[in-house]
Structure 1
Amino acid sequence: MNAEDGPQEPAEHARFAAYLADLEQVADADEIELVGRVLADPDRVMAQAAVVRHLDRRAAELCPDPVWEEWAAGMARAVADRPFLTRRLREWSLLRALTLRLPWRADALLASSDWLQLKAAAGSDPEALGVLTDRGRTKRIRRTARAGLTRRCGS
């Protein structure tokens, strides 16, 4: 039996892989346009999954960089009609503020997703760790934040 006799990969799987490859290699000047094209795919769930992977990768890369503001503004326009992606970008902005010791609000951290609270709990901002130790959404978040505070006090 050769590969041609096996089940065919669903078309959306092939498009997903192609989108990830394209997003990995896109030039900065073409990034927002490509994100828009990916989000125009008829399979909304698959398209959003590809874009959130890209958004997470790029946000992590650009977080400390001064180009963040311009990139985030462009990305916000590209994902404006996608609540999950909009929230993820907003949460990356909050994580950036925590990481760079920029102003942030405790209520924004407490209203954030488990994803962001866990990332913040694994971080080093003492105020965020204190907030999450007391009021983090899950036991895991509170435990991780408590461990972070203990590490800080022990160092």
Structure 2
Amino acid sequence: MSADSGWNADEHVRFARYRQAFDEVAPADAAALVARVLTDPDKGMANSAVCEYLDRRAAELLADPGYPSWCLEMTRAVMADDFCTRRLNEWTLLRAMTLDEPWDVESLLTASNWLQLHTAERSLATSPLQILAENGRTRRIRNIAQSRLSAAQRSTSTEPDR
């Protein structure tokens, strides 16, 4: 996406253009595009467009060895934006939990509802599910985590010993 001499007044048009640009961007150009979008005068819309990209790309790279270098590059691009920085940090926490790498319980407990819900709905790791079943921020998060934890424990107890 080239630099505009002026902004289209309609944020919906800009958002659509940003989404298309993120769909087409080469990995080597992604950080520059993220930084460019974050200069949009409508901060909420810009955050939304960037976080949509971060969510898609982080999900694709979550267990990939390329995630750390991508994350470092994106961290530099979003450093002036607290919301996008937090989202990227939460993806990194999710990666650690997913790969059974060291992570901090307090980080999960103070994470956004988005991360807690995402973890409760999708994690296969019993440790974060146990923590969220007991201490998730909302009743919905606690219930989903408890249900998935119970299902995981049932499937583990019915598997034959090897």
Residue in structure 2 matched with residue 59 of structure 1 by the alignment:
58
Q: Which amino acid aligns with 2:114?
A: W
Q: Which amino acid aligns with 1:24?
A: D
Report the Cα offset of residue 129 of structure 1. Answer: 1.0
Mapped to 1, the partners of 2:10 and 2:129 lie a distance apart of: 44
Unaligned runs of 5+ in 1: 1-8
TM-score by length of 1: 0.91
Residue in structure 1 matched with residue 27 of structure 2 by the alignment:
28
Mapped to 2, the partners of 1:108 and 1:145 lie a distance apart of: 17
Unaligned runs of 5+ in 2: 1-7, 156-162
Mapped to 2, the partners of 1:96 and 1:28 lie a distance apart of: 20
Identity of aligned residues (%): 48
Residue in structure 2 matched with residue 43 of structure 1 by the alignment:
42
Q: Which moved more, 1:40-49 or 1:97-106?
A: 40-49
Q: Which moved more, 1:118-127 or 1:48-57?
A: 118-127
1:69-118 residue CA offsets vs partner (Å, 9 max, x unmatched): 01101111111111111100000001111111111111110010111011
- Secondary structure at the aligned position of 2:150 is classed as helix
Alignment of 1:5-154 (within 5 A): 11-122=10-121, 123-154=123-154
Mapped to 1, the partners of 2:12 and 2:48 lie a distance apart of: 11
Mapped to 2, the partners of 1:41 and 1:79 lie a distance apart of: 13
- Secondary structure at the aligned position of 1:54 is classed as helix
CA distance 1:41–1:10, shift in 2 (3 Å): closer
Report the Cα offset of residue 45 of structure 1. Answer: 1.7
Task: Report the aligned-residue RMSD.
Answer: 1.3
Mapped to 1, the partners of 2:105 and 2:154 lie a distance apart of: 25
Mapped to 2, the partners of 1:13 and 1:75 lie a distance apart of: 24
Report the Cα offset of residue 134 of structure 1. Answer: 0.9
Mapped to 2, the partners of 1:34 and 1:149 lie a distance apart of: 40
Residue in structure 2 matched with residue 5 of structure 1 by the alignment:
none
Report the Cα offset of residue 119 of structure 1. Answer: 1.3
- Secondary structure at the aligned position of 2:101 is classed as coil
Mapped to 2, the partners of 1:64 and 1:153 lie a distance apart of: 24
Report the Cα offset of residue 10 of structure 1. Answer: 5.8
1:109-137 residue CA offsets vs partner (Å, 9 max, x unmatched): 00101110111112111111111111111
Report the Cα offset of residue 62 of structure 1. Answer: 0.8
TM-score by length of 2: 0.87
